[in-house]
A and B are shown apart, each in its own frame.
Chain A
Amino acid sequence: MTPNEQNQNYDLLDKAIQTLRETDIPAEPPFEAVHAVLDAAPDNPRFLHRSFLSHHLNSITKIAAVLIFSLGGLSLLNWMQSLDNPQTQYAGIVEPLLNAQTTTCQVTVNTVGIPEQTYSTQFKAPGLIRHSVEGGAVQIVDFTQGKMLTLTPARLIAVELEMASPLQKQGHLLEIKKAIQQTLQDDSSIVHFVEEKKIDDQTLLAYRVSHSQMDITLWADADTLQLIQLEAISNAMNSIEKIVISDFDFNAPLDDTLFSFDVPNYYTAITLPDPTEDLTAFWTKIKNLSGQQFTNPQHLTTIMGYINPFRNQIIDPTNNQQLFQMPIMIPVMKRLLFL
């Protein structure tokens, strides 16, 4: 091998290393893999600490240590009970959110690979939701009836969909509410006080709690314990999703007309087929509606808007797998439509 050839190989190796280092890596491992790993630990994973004891302390020292730790633990417990309990404060802060008959709020969603979205949400118990983007689309969903109406004022298009079964995926607000409800019922959920912060003369307290599908941080007014802002970081999708909900208004009267499924005058009504019955027809209609090839992030945001309320009810007919995750859904849809 000549020196020149050797240099070329040097370059090639360095280039290959560089290329490998720059591999485009998804930010998070698949949700299922993380859960499998979490579930793999024994029920009582204290062996991590036991093994330390077994290596470093003889049995007499172990007994002494256990006694000391037990007494210390009891004292600590008594001391903590004498303080304000974060669990109790958390329950008080979320109570209006969980029990309100109506809720109005602002929702901002950040998902990796998709532009940030902010929309207003109006909720009316038991299952009516209206999402609206300022100057943009309006979506009205009845989760109990499986009905959806999406209005696009710029194109005067009204997209209707009625499904045979109630919708399972209930939008960000209701899913976070459900998760909060579960953390209250689950004795193993621990609420942590995070910090106190002063913003514009208002003192805010932050609490954090973990749910199996998301980490929730809530900010409340220190004086009134009124909920100011909710942040949820969810990894239920393949990519991490951060949802911030603020500007809460509970139990304000909301007119029924806000949740009307009547198509307004001058709008062209388009009915989507039920995706649980004919996925190909459904996706063809979505494609025709947008006239694009599922390649542009902004365009995908629009598609997500249409399919979000029933995303986890979409099943690949070839293998009966749930197409909940967008990265899986898009290639399957392309295949179905021969794109």
Chain B
Amino acid sequence: MDWNTIVSENRQQVWRTAYRLLGNDADAADCFQETFISALKVAERQVVRNWPALLHCLATTRALDRLRQRKRQKGRFETIPEWSAVNSKQPEPEQYAQAAELSDRLRQALTKLPEKQARVFCLRFLDDLSYRQIAQQMEIKTDAVGVLLQRARAKLRDLLATELTPNEL
């Protein structure tokens, strides 16, 4: 399999993972590039048996890293207006704003979880991976997946219940 095929077959999955967690074009595009470049470095060191799984895992990790980086920078991010902003299929502005705020709160809450918990949570609830697939990707036991998920959910519930300051949103 050559590099072009690997990129071509996995680009949409990596893009979706990055965009869903980051919520804007610019960050998602950076994360997209970082993911593939990290995968290249991994391939230089070891045999890659499952490219989709590696890229999936790297995309989630890089996107979470970037979210944490954003949190450290604190300021609110200005998202670049997209095509969707002029598409008539958009929901009502108020509904859209509420959904966007809730998504942002969850993104911010994810940055406060320990790294493993955040990754497990994303792979399970955003990407629909099974416990077994998550265990394989993260090289942990299936039982541990359940424990990490439970802790992640409990902490996220508490974090979402807490009113976040505007800087944290």
Interface string of A224-248 (1 = CB under 8 A from B): 0000000000000011000000000
A residues in contact (CB < 8 Å) with B:
1, 5-6, 8-10, 12-13, 15-17, 19-30, 32-34, 36-38, 40-41, 45, 47-48, 51-52, 55-56, 113, 238-239, 294-297, 300, 326-327, 330-331
Query: Does A300 lie within 8 Å of B84, measured CB to CB?
Result: no
Query: Does B11 lie within 8 Å of A6, measured CB to CB?
Result: no
**B139 close to chain A: CB less than 8 A:** no
Show 23 A/B contacts (Cβ-Cβ < 8 Å), sorted by A.
Answer: A10-B157, A12-B160, A16-B105, A16-B106, A19-B102, A20-B103, A20-B106, A24-B84, A26-B15, A27-B12, A28-B11, A29-B28, A30-B25, A32-B29, A33-B29, A33-B32, A41-B3, A45-B2, A55-B46, A297-B87, A327-B86, A331-B80, A331-B81
Q: Which of B48, B84, B86, B106 contacts A48 (CB 8 A)?
A: B48
Q: Is the interface of A mostly helix, strand, loop or mixed?
A: helix
What is the distance, in angstroms, from B35's C-beta to the closest C-beta of chain A? Answer: 9
Q: Which of A1, A19, A239 contacts B99 (CB 8 A)?
A: A19
Q: Which residues of B contact A6 (CB under 8 A)?
A: 157
Q: Which residues of A contact B48 (CB under 8 A)?
A: 48
What is the distance, in angstroms, from B38's C-beta to the closest C-beta of chain A? Answer: 10
Instruction: A193 to B125: give the CA distance in the assembly, Å.
Output: 41
Query: Does B158 lie within 8 Å of A113, measured CB to CB?
Result: no
Query: Does B160 lie within 8 Å of A28, measured CB to CB?
Result: no
Given contact pairs A51-B46, A51-B47, A238-B83, A29 touches B1 in the complex (Cβ within 8 A):
no
A20-B106, A37-B11, A48-B1 given; name 18 further pairs at CB < 8 Å.
Answer: A1-B161, A9-B158, A10-B157, A13-B157, A16-B160, A21-B20, A25-B20, A28-B15, A29-B15, A29-B32, A30-B25, A40-B36, A40-B40, A47-B44, A296-B88, A297-B87, A331-B81, A331-B86
Instruction: A239 to B86: give the CA distance in the assembly, Å.
Output: 14
Q: Which residues of A contact B7 (CB under 8 A)?
A: 34, 37-38
Instruction: A76 to B81: give the CA distance in the assembly, Å.
Output: 53
The 8 tightest CB contacts between A and B, nearest first, are A327-B83, A41-B3, A16-B106, A29-B15, A331-B81, A9-B157, A37-B36, A45-B3
Max chain B C-beta neighbours (<10 A), residue from A16, A22, A32:
A16
Closest to A1 in B: B161
Chain B 108-140 interface residues, beta-carbon cutoff 8 Å to A: 125-126
**B16 close to chain A: CB less than 8 A:** yes
Q: Which of A5, A41, A295 contacts B40 (CB 8 A)?
A: A41
Instruction: A34 to B6: give the CA distance in the assembly, Å.
Output: 12
Query: Does B85 lie within 8 Å of A331, measured CB to CB?
Result: yes
Instruction: A181 to B103: give the CA distance in the assembly, Å.
Output: 47
What is the distance, in angstroms, from B169's C-beta to the closest C-beta of chain A? Answer: 13
Instruction: A92 to B29: give the CA distance in the assembly, Å.
Output: 40
Q: Which residues of B contact A26 (CB under 8 A)?
A: 15, 19, 25, 82-84
Q: Which residues of B contact A1 (CB under 8 A)?
A: 161
Query: Does B86 lie within 8 Å of A20, measured CB to CB?
Result: no
Given contact pairs A9-B157, A297-B88, A25 touches B19 in the complex (Cβ within 8 A):
yes
Query: Does B20 lie within 8 Å of A20, measured CB to CB?
Result: yes
